[in-house]
Chain A
Amino acid sequence: MTLGSIRHQIRIGRSADDVWARVRDAAGLHTWFPGLTDCQVDGNNRVIFLGSGMAMPEEILVNDDVQRRFQYRITAPIFRHHRGTIDVIELNDDECMVVYSTEADPRTMALTIGGGTAGALDELKRQMEEHH
């Protein structure tokens, strides 16, 4: 088995619509994902720039305002498979749950990226609740 599958989630004290507005902004990921320095979006293609200097090409697969789901895959050759999924789930009018899932083959990359996504959720919560 070479597929790694990691899930992180966090409760945020803001409405699902408010949080989704940040998550759906594909060009703004680096503003709440620690370790990213920039994002460039061209249609369904996005390139993220990592703190280590690496540029990582991605394809945006889903940006669904109804389900509040954002999905993408890293297309760099080192990945045999990748799928990143961010779900914003309404809990009540002022609170939502954000779930950031990562599948990757090689599975080691799921662990490595997964640590980053957990940090991103922490930062998203901090920003959303601080600016409320």
Chain B
Amino acid sequence: MGRKILFVTTDQQRYDAIGCNGGMVARTPVIDALAAQGYRYERAQPQSVVCMPSRSTMLTGQHVSTHGVWMNGVALPADAPSVAEVLHDAGYRTALIGKPHFEPFLDPFLRFTENRLSREPLSDGLTHRGFEHFEAATHGGQGMLHYARWLAANHPEAVGMFYPVLDGSLEVNALGGGETGAPQVWENAIPKEWYHTDWVADRTINWLDGLDADDDWFCWMSFPDPHHPWDPPKSELGRIDWRDVPLPDGYPQTAAEREAILDRKPRHWKAWYEGTLVSNYEAPADWVPATLTADHVREVNQRNAIECELIDEALGRVLAAIEARGWGDDVDIVFTTDHGEFQGDFGLLFKGPYHVEALMRLPLVWRPAPSSTPAPAAVTRPVGLVDLAPTFCAIAGLPVPDWMEGKPLPSSDADADARGFERSLTEWDSVLFGVAVHLRTITRDGWVCTTYQAGHSHDGTEGELYSLADDPLQRVNLWDDPAYAAVRDDLVADLWDHQPAMHQPLRRVEAPV
């Protein structure tokens, strides 16, 4: 009997959303306790700041260019390599419960397996991407996934209680709500017990209950929150008064300050802020960031924090169930997310082609099985989501396959230094309705450096360079400062030395998301 693995992910959660990373709004005692018992990573980065590419990296252990899922709407082929398959082949029982998103959600033809599995469950002995058990959910109560079908079958009155994610034009909705009119804030009358966070935990506990005591298992428990819309159960809103939520350090409080900061960045920043350019489908096309107010930010962050608290509590229930099965000493728990969220930084919400801390610095906690007697540590060296799949192999005592590009996560800075954790790479490519944006980013030696390739708004000479120590809010772009030209050129050269080539032929966009 080996070590079991509970892999817990959230969706679009910032580094500072949890208490152990300095978060001051949401109470997350369960995650904080795991961090205290294991490894807390202070510089964990995604290889993409949108869902499908980032999740494909988690599953494959590959950079975005290698697995080829270069943007939302590009499907990961069903036969792509998968760490779940490696573990299943080694005898692990495997499950994915919650948000998968390796294949497009907008799928009226039902061409993609993920969307068919609620109607056509896996037969005994078959797996999808190495998962023998697959129960899917996403952000609302409608659609083809298991949660939506469960809700429609058992609580049909609740299906329409969620925020309408798409508007009448099938664009991502800009509709505001709550007390401030903040975009994608909504009062959801659904009882907490029926909300997808509790459902994901319930279904996870149910799957674990069906396992034999001596089974080894790998369970990816994937919460759809705190990704927008921010519509937690209304019953929970009393946890935090939005008026008491502090404005984040990253939120410039005057329009003049915001605009001056954005003017120092490549032009697509300001163009989005002013509402003249939208380059990411998940940013509401009809929402102009310049209209965001301080109260909007407070209320968005209140709802977001409540969703984080609900996740923490749901995780606590699952851990209690694991303890009750007698597995507590032999379970590794890895907690992270796929990418971050602006939540007011620079006067922005949501995400897009903007490689800054809000979107690129992620919560990552690894609590090794207590039976392995880990020495708790905070790891400051850069690691990536590309390192997760190799970590799972290492936990299971399996060799890391050649096709994985990451390395098992380090247990300390000394371990990181000894094994060459020097840099993290992040990519962005999008062509939404002819708006082409291409970024390549390296984080190394306390710098974050992004080079832009030619596209809709860029001629290929632009870039961003920030010192994370001197400018933690990334407000002063040093890319064109002659005093830092050598640093910039060294980073760019190192980036291209390590950046994998894009998968060819280029995988095609199958849907917007």
B373 contacts the other chain (CB 8 A) = no
List of B residues within 8 angstroms of A107 by Cβ: 169, 433
Given contact pairs A52-B144, A107-B433, A111-B511, A35 touches B170 in the complex (Cβ within 8 A): no
List of A residues within 8 angstroms of B166 by Cβ: 108
B446 contacts the other chain (CB 8 A) = no
Q: Are B106 and A108 in contact (CB under 8 A)?
A: yes
B512 contacts the other chain (CB 8 A) = yes
Compute how far the CA of A2 lies from the CA of B169 in the bound complex, rounded to whole angstroms: 8
B509 contacts the other chain (CB 8 A) = yes
B167 to chain A, nearest CB (A): 9
Give the tally of cross-chain contacts (CB within 8 A).
67
Compute how far the CA of A1 lies from the CA of B512 in the bound complex, rounded to whole angstroms: 16
B interface, over-half SS? loop
Compute how far the CA of A114 lies from the CA of B171 in the bound complex, rounded to whole angstroms: 16
Given contact pairs A35-B110, A112-B106, A118 touches B510 in the complex (Cβ within 8 A): yes
Compute how far the CA of A54 lies from the CA of B239 in the bound complex, rounded to whole angstroms: 42
Contacts of B160-179 to chain A: CB distance below 8 A: 166, 169-171
List of B residues within 8 angstroms of A112 by Cβ: 106-108, 511-512
Compute how far the CA of A4 lies from the CA of B169 in the bound complex, rounded to whole angstroms: 12
Compute how far the CA of A112 lies from the CA of B511 in the bound complex, rounded to whole angstroms: 4
Among candidates A8, A34, A52, residue contacting B108 with C-beta atoms closer than 8 Å: A52
Given contact pairs A2-B169, A4-B433, A106-B170, A52 touches B110 in the complex (Cβ within 8 A): yes
Q: Are A119 and B111 in contact (CB under 8 A)?
A: yes
Closest Cβ neighbor of A4 among chain B residues: B433
Q: Are A50 and B110 in contact (CB under 8 A)?
A: yes
Given contact pairs A111-B511, A112-B512, A35 touches B171 in the complex (Cβ within 8 A): no
A70 to chain B, nearest CB (A): 19
List of B residues within 8 angstroms of A57 by Cβ: none
B172 to chain A, nearest CB (A): 9
Given contact pairs A51-B111, A52-B110, A52-B144, A106 touches B73 in the complex (Cβ within 8 A): no
Q: Are B108 and A115 in contact (CB under 8 A)?
A: no
Chain B 226-250 interface mask (CB, 8 Å, partner A; 1/0): 0000000000000000000000000
B508 contacts the other chain (CB 8 A) = yes
Q: Are A108 and B110 in contact (CB under 8 A)?
A: no
Among candidates A8, A50, A115, residue contacting B104 with C-beta atoms closer than 8 Å: A115
Q: Are A111 and B73 in contact (CB under 8 A)?
A: yes
List of A residues within 8 angstroms of B511 by Cβ: 111-112, 115
Q: Are A51 and B109 in contact (CB under 8 A)?
A: yes
Q: Are A115 and B171 in contact (CB under 8 A)?
A: no
Q: What are 28 A-B pairs with beta-carbon distances under 8 A? A: A1-B433, A34-B111, A35-B109, A35-B111, A36-B109, A50-B110, A51-B108, A52-B107, A52-B115, A54-B108, A106-B170, A107-B169, A107-B433, A108-B169, A108-B170, A108-B171, A111-B73, A111-B509, A111-B511, A112-B106, A112-B107, A112-B511, A114-B509, A115-B104, A115-B111, A115-B510, A118-B508, A119-B111
Interface residues of B, Cβ cutoff 8 Å to A: 73, 104, 106-111, 115-116, 144, 166, 169-171, 281, 433, 508-512
* 5 A-B pairs with least C-beta separation: A35-B109, A51-B110, A115-B510, A108-B170, A106-B169
